[in-house]
Each structure stands twice: as structure tokens, then as C-alpha cells.
Amino acid sequence: MARALWKGAISFGLVHIPVELISASLDHELDLSMLDRRDFAPIGYKRYNKQTGKEVEWDDIIKGYEYKTDEYVVLSEEDLRQANVKATQTIDILAFVDALEVPLTFYEHPYYLLPAKGGEKVYALLRETLRKANKVGIASVVMRTKQHLCALVCVGDAIVLNTLRYADELRPTDDLDLPGSSLKAAGISDKELKMALSLVEGMSEAWEPGQYHDSYREDVLALVKKKIKAKQTKTITPPAPEPAEEQDSNVIDLVALLQQSLGKKAPAAAPRKRAAASTARKPAPARRKAA
């Protein structure tokens, strides 16, 4: 069982649900160590006192707020809790909104909320209410000295707390060089759009997350095994030469590319859907040629 990162309660109206917070993500990032290229010795970091230069043990480290240059107010964990006891112990639901109203760009990091002892029934009540209403609860919570905006979402039998970015933490799109929102402004023809929709329909299938995996990580680990087997563990591979630059062209024949894509043999993931799609519409010429 994973260790709880936070313990407190969900609060909405007069209802309190005791819960524990567990990270919902597992980090499979490649753990690469930094080495000195001269002798391949590992490089380490030290926590040191900037005045004496001596290393400092974890037990001797405390937190402080620099209110002016080199002057600090010491803040213990109890100080941070007492600054606002309710905020540090409560996931306070502020509103309920339609699940589709929160853009994906706002979602940041997922956590599982588990009911603490005695909170199982009320936890299940909130979960089923979110499910039936198709709503998410917008709440605030303080974790690690920062107040987070978050969304409480029903996912299967769990309530997931997903931290959200604040609106001012997202870059506005007004100053980005984006194509026009209309087909005419973007230079898209009706034929191109219809062919693109046909391609999307042919590639559509049920969401099966288990079929996707980090192939790059697997390739790197395979390369590691290969270098070990070849006894090249200390061989530094030089950078490959830059490829010659091709003549850039802004003219793209989208119709030809879409025809080629439609003519390719579809993957064997969802044959029933592709069969239904092929009978529901007249096949494109490229499909007949491929057949």
C-alpha cells in the first residue's frame, strides 16, 4: 500500500469526509546518473552551509522566509499549519461544474482519494453523486506550502483529486500565430475535411490504455544491454552528422497525403468498426486500389 501524502477531509456544505491522498501516477522515467566524463565517476550534490561551507544533515535543516536580503523568518511545520488550520486539513469544495467544461490544459497531477475509517459511506455518496450528475467538484487544498485549485472527479470506484493550474498560469493564445478558425481562413477545402474525417473514422477504436507503452524507454534499455554485451560500457558515442537540409516548401498536397493514408492497410485493432465504416460510406478511389 502506498504511503499517504496528505490526510484531512473533503468538505462541502456541512458534510465532512475523512480521506487520505495517494499519488495516482507511477514514475517510470529513466534514472540516468551524471558522470564525470574524465573517469566516469558519479557526480553528487551536497547540502552545505553557505557561510561555513560545511555539509548540513537533513535533521538540521529548517525552512525560512527571506523578508529582506539575508534576513529570514523561521517557519516550522507547525507554523505553516497554524497559519490556516482549515486550509491545511480540508479539501474545500467551492462549486460543482459540468465535467466537460474544464479544459484539459488546466489538469496538472492526479491523486487518489481514499476514505479514512468511518468515511466509507459518505465517500461513496459523493462518488455516486458526481457520477450521476456528470459533474466535477472544484475545490481548494493546501499541500506542501502551496494552495492548489483542484477538481474532484469520479473515475471507476475512486474519487480522483486532480490539481489544476490557475488561469493566470496558462499562456493565453491571443499572441500565438495560429491558423484562422474558419475553413476558408485556414485554406481548407470541403474535400480535404471530408477525407480527414474518413481517415479519423477508419482509425477510431475503443480506448484501451494497456496497449500503449513507453517504447523509447524500452529501446534505451535494449541499447544498454547491447553495450554491456559488446563491452562498450565506457564508449562515448559521438554525435551523428547533421542531415543535409532539404529545400523547404510550403506547398503541401493534402489530398494526395490523405488518399495515401486512406489507402494504407488499417491496423488490426478494431475490424468491426472499420467494416461498419466501409459499408456506411462509399470507398475512396485509393481504398479500391489498395483492395
Give the residue with greater pLDDT, 23 vs 136. 136
Residue 145 and residue 90 share a domain: yes
Residue 158 and residue 14 share a domain: yes
Residue 145 and residue 16 share a domain: yes
The answer to whether residue 67 sits within a structural domain is no
The answer to whether residue 40 sits within a structural domain is no
pLDDT tops 80 at residue 266: no
**pLDDT for the residue 251:** 53
Tens-place pLDDT, residues 197-246 = 888 888 888 888 788 777 878 888 888 898 899 888 888 888 888 777 66
Joined together, the cell numbers standing for residue 241 give 552528422
**pLDDT for the residue 195:** 84
Residue 288 and residue 160 share a domain: no
Averaged confidence pLDDT in the chain: 81
The answer to whether residue 244 sits within a structural domain is no
Residue 193 and residue 108 share a domain: no
If you average pLDDT over residues 28-34, what whole number do you get?
81
Could you tell me the residue range of the domain that residue 269 belongs to? 185-203+253-291
The answer to whether residue 283 sits within a structural domain is yes
pLDDT-derived band at 151 (thresholds 50, 70, 90) equals: very high
Q: How far is CA 283 from CA 112, 194, 286, in A?
A: 46, 12, 8
pLDDT tops 50 at residue 286: no
Give the residue with greater pLDDT, 248 vs 243. 243
Instruction: Select from 169, 193, 217 the last residue of a domain.
Output: 169
pLDDT tops 50 at residue 275: no
If you average pLDDT over residues 14-24, what whole number do you get?
86
Residue 192 and residue 85 share a domain: no
- Stretch among 100-114, 196-210, 212-226, 275-289 having the lowest mean pLDDT: 275-289
Residue 263 and residue 156 share a domain: no
- Dihedral of the CA atoms 97, 101, 103, 104 (nearest 10)? 70
Cα–Cα dist 104/170, whole Å:
11
Residue 258 and residue 140 share a domain: no
pLDDT tops 90 at residue 120: yes
**pLDDT for the residue 224:** 87
The answer to whether residue 119 sits within a structural domain is yes
Query: Which residues, 6+ apart, have CB-to-CB distance to 229 below 8 Å?
Result: none
The total number of structural domains in the chain stands at: 2
Residue 104 and residue 153 share a domain: yes
Percent of the chain with pLDDT over 70: 86
Residue 20 and residue 101 share a domain: yes
Q: What is the CATH number of the domain that holds 114?
A: 2.40.290.10
- Dihedral of the CA atoms 14, 118, 9, 16 (nearest 10)? 0
pLDDT-derived band at 82 (thresholds 50, 70, 90) equals: confident
- Stretch among 21-25, 142-146, 264-268 having the lowest mean pLDDT: 264-268
The answer to whether residue 95 sits within a structural domain is yes
Cα–Cα dist 196/202, whole Å:
10
Burial of 195 (0-12, 13-18, 19+ CB in 10 A): buried
pLDDT-derived band at 279 (thresholds 50, 70, 90) equals: very low
Residue 150 and residue 15 share a domain: yes
The answer to whether residue 214 sits within a structural domain is no
Residue 258 and residue 158 share a domain: no
Q: How far is CA 225 from CA 27, 39, 106, 233, in A?
A: 22, 21, 40, 9
The answer to whether residue 63 sits within a structural domain is no
